[in-house]
Structure 1
Amino acid sequence: MFVSSKLKHSASDSADKNGVKNRLKKFIIRRPSMKTLQEKGLIKDQVFGCHLLTLCEREGSTVPSFVQLCLDAIEKRGMDVDGIYRVSGNLSTVQKLRFMVDQEEALDLDQSQWEDVHVVTGALKMFFRELPEPLFPFRAFQPFVEAIKIKDSRQKVQAVKKLIQDLPRPNQDTMTLLFSHLHRVLTFSRQNLMSTQGIGIVFGPTLMWPELDGGNMAVNMVYQNQIIEFILIESCDIFSLDRK
C-alpha cells in the first residue's frame, strides 16, 4: 500500500509539472512581441541607455532632443552658477527627470521642480555616461590618445579635427553643440569658477572611455581629461566656431 501511494503521488507530481510546462509554453507562444508592445505604446523606447545613432535616427535628427533641451535650459539660467557641471544635483530629482524623459512625458525644464540647474546638468552628464558606446566611439579612443601625444600644437589640432570629422554625423554634431556650449561656459569663468581643467576632469570620463580598460584606468583617465581639455581650448579651430 505504501509503495502504491508513492507511485500515485509521483505520477500526480509529474502530471502537475507537465501541466505547468505546457501552460508556460502556451504563454510564451501567445505573448506579444516587443515590437507589438512598442507599437501599442505599452513599452516605450528608452532615451537613456540608447545608442546615439539609434536615438537620432528615431528622432530624425543628428543631435538628441534631450541634449538640446538641457543645453538651452543651462544657457538660459545656469552659465554663471558657481560650480556648474562640477556640483552634483539631487540624485532622486535627477532620476525623476530621467524617468519622465524615458516615459516620453511632456518636459518643461522651466518648471519649478527643475529650478536647480545642477539637476539639469546632472541629468545631461548621466545621459552621456549611460550611452552603450560613448560620444567618442570605442574605435576612436586610441587614435585620440595618439593624437594628443603630438608635440606640435598645430599638427595636434589638425589630427584631432580629422578624427572628429571621421566620426558618424550624430557624434560630430552632438560634439559641436556640446563643446560650443562648454566654450561659452568658460566665458563666465569668473562667476562660475570653472576652468578648462575643471571641465576636462568632469567630462573626460563622461564622454570617452576604452572598451576594455586593460588595467590602465589611471593612465586612461589622464588621457581622457587631456583630450577633452585640449578640444575645449582649441574648439574654435576644431569646430570652426565664432571666436567672439
Structure 2
Amino acid sequence: MQKSTNSDTSLETLNSTRQGTGAVQMRIKNANSHHDRLSQSKSMILTDVGKVTEPISRHRRNHSQHILKDVIPPLEQLMVEKEGYLQKAKIADGGKKLRKNWSTSWIVLSSRKIEFYKESKQQALSNMKTGHKPESVDLCGAHIEWAKEKSSRKNVFQITTVSGNEFLLQSDIDFIILDWFHAIKNAIDRLPKDSSCPSRNLELFKIQRSSSTELLSHYDSDIKEQKPEHRKSLMFRLHHSASDTSDKNRVKSRLKKFITRRPSLKTLQEKGLIKDQIFGSHLHKVCERENSTVPWFVKQCIEAVEKRGLDVDGIYRVSGNLATIQKLRFIVNQEEKLNLDDSQWEDIHVVTGALKMFFRELPEPLFPYSFFEQFVEAIKKQDNNTRIEAVKSLVQKLPPPNRDTMKVLFGHLTKIVAKASKNLMSTQSLGIVFGPTLLRAENETGNMAIHMVYQNQIAELMLSEYSKIFGSEED
C-alpha cells in the first residue's frame, strides 16, 4: 500500500513538471520500481562522463546580461572623450581634392572616431538618440599634423585617414585648439596600427595616389583596349605596377618618346590649335595682333565704365566677384565676341576687376622695367615743375603701345577723379590702387615700403598733372 502511494506521488510530480515548464519530455511511460525512477532522474542531471553540469539560469535578467556581454563592446570604447565647437573644412574625399569651405561643427571625439554635427549641441544629442548618423572619421591608422600652409587662418591642423579623407580643424583660441590636437593625437596613438585597421594602409594609399599621375595615360589606353569583364580596378593596377620595375621602365620609355615627338609651340600656333591669349601676353604683342597701339579690351572696359560706372561708389577700389571675372577673362582669351552690356556683366566692379587683372598679368608692367628707376628719380625732385618735366620726358621716350595705353588709361582715370564727390575716389585713392599694378621693379631687392610710396606718388602725379604731361601728345 505504501509502495503504491509513492508511485502515484512520483507520477504526479512528473506530470506537473511536464505541464508547468514543457522543458522535460519523458520517454518512459511506466516506472514500476524506485530504482527505475532513480535512474531516470540521474540521467537528467549527469553528463556522459558522469560530471554534474551547471544548471542553466532561467532568470530573464541573468540571461540578457550573458548575451549582452558577448554582443556589445566594452563601455570604454563608446565613451566620449571630448566634445565642443570647432571650425571644420573637408579638403579631400577618398583622395579627390575638394574645395575648402569652412563651417562651424559640433565635434564629438570617442576612443576610435570623430563625429561631426552641423547642428547645435542639443540638436546633435537629439539626433544621436533618434539614430541619425553624422559624418564620421575613423581614427584607426589616421595621421594628424599642423597645417599652417593649408590656410591663411591661424591654429589649423589636418587629419588624414587611411581612406584618403582629409579634414582641417581650426580655432582662434590657442589653448582650445592645442587641447584638441593632443586629445586626437592620443586617441590615434592608442589605436592599433596598420595591420589591425579595416581600411587600407595609409602609405599604400599615398603611393597609389602619387603614382597615378605618372601612370594614368599609360593605363588609360590599356584599359580601353581590354574587354569590360577583364578590366581591373585602376587603383589595384597602379598598386601592383608601382612595384614592378619593368612596368616603370616601359612607362618612362613611352614618356620620353612622347616628349621628343611632341610638336613645338610654334607649330601648334601655326595650326591654330593654340591661340595667343590677351591676358598674360606682352603689351606690344597684343597691339601687334590687333594692329593698334592700345589693346581693344582696354578700350572696351573703359567705355563700359564711363558709360555706367563713373558715379559708382568705390569704383576700381571695390572688388568684383572673382569667379565672374575669371569667366570674363576666359571669354576674352578664347577670342569670343564680348558684349559688356550683357546682363552677366551687369556688376561694373567685374569689368573694373578684369581691367586691373589685365594690367596686373602683363609680363612687363605698363611702366617698363628699364624705366622704373628713372621714374623714381624723377618723382624725388623737389621742384614741382622740374618733376613734371622729367616725368613728361620719360613718357615721350616710352614705346608707342606703352605710351598710348598709358595716355588712354590716365585720361579715363581723370574722369573718375572729376566725379569724386559721388564715387569717393580721389587722386590719392586711385594712386594707391594703380601705382603697384602699373609700376614695379623687376627685382625687388630694396625696401618694398619705400618703393610703394614712390609708385603711388608717380600715379598721383600722372593724374593730377595729366594735361601737362600728355598735353603735347594730343592727336
Give the TM-score of the pair, scaled to structure 1: 0.89
Change in 2 beyond 3 A, CA 1:40/1:48: same
Change in 2 beyond 3 A, CA 1:29/1:214: closer
* Pairwise CA distance, 1:16: 5.4
Is 1:97 equivalent to 2:303 in the alignment? no
Structure 2 unpaired stretches of 5+: 1-243
1:135 maps to: 366
Return the letter of the residue paired with 1:130: E
Structure 1 unpaired stretches of 5+: 1-12
* Pairwise CA distance, 1:35: 2.0
Is 1:64 equivalent to 2:295 in the alignment? yes
2:142 maps to: none
Contact 1:78–1:117 (Cα < 8 Å) also in 2: yes
Is 1:191 equivalent to 2:422 in the alignment? yes
Q: Percent identity?
A: 67
2:272 maps to: 41
Is 1:146 equivalent to 2:370 in the alignment? no
Is 1:73 equivalent to 2:304 in the alignment? yes
Q: Give deviations 1:151-202, integer Å, cap 9, x for gaps.
A: 2211111100000111100000000000110011111111111100000000
The runs of at least 4 consecutive aligned structure 1 residues that moved more than 6 Å come to none
Change in 2 beyond 3 A, CA 1:215/1:145: closer
Change in 2 beyond 3 A, CA 1:17/1:82: closer
Return the letter of the residue paired with 2:300: L
Return the letter of the residue paired with 2:287: C
* Pairwise CA distance, 1:104: 1.1
Give the TM-score of the pair, scaled to structure 2: 0.47
Partner Cα distance (1:15, 1:91) in 2: 47
2:344 maps to: 113
Change in 2 beyond 3 A, CA 1:142/1:66: same
* Pairwise CA distance, 1:212: 1.3
Q: Secondary structure at the match of 2:315?
A: coil
Q: How does 1:159-178 map to 2 (within 5 A)?
A: 159-178=390-409
2:45 maps to: none
Partner Cα distance (1:80, 1:141) in 2: 33
Contact 1:180–1:241 (Cα < 8 Å) also in 2: no
Partner Cα distance (1:39, 1:48) in 2: 20
Partner Cα distance (1:154, 1:112) in 2: 46
Partner Cα distance (1:23, 1:141) in 2: 48
Relative contact order, higher structure (CA 8 A, sep 6+): 1
* Pairwise CA distance, 1:31: 2.4
* Pairwise CA distance, 1:215: 4.1
* Pairwise CA distance, 1:14: 7.2
Return the letter of the residue paired with 1:207: L
* Pairwise CA distance, 1:23: 3.3
Contact 1:89–1:122 (Cα < 8 Å) also in 2: yes
Q: Secondary structure at the match of 2:398?
A: coil
Aligned-pair Cα RMSD in Å: 1.9
Q: Aligned pairs, how many?
A: 231
Partner Cα distance (1:103, 1:218) in 2: 38
Higher relative helix content: 1
* 2:356 equivalent among 125, 147, 162: 125
* Pairwise CA distance, 1:21: 4.7
* Pairwise CA distance, 1:34: 1.5
* Pairwise CA distance, 1:25: 4.0
1:205 maps to: 436
Contact 1:235–1:241 (Cα < 8 Å) also in 2: no
Partner Cα distance (1:19, 1:88) in 2: 50
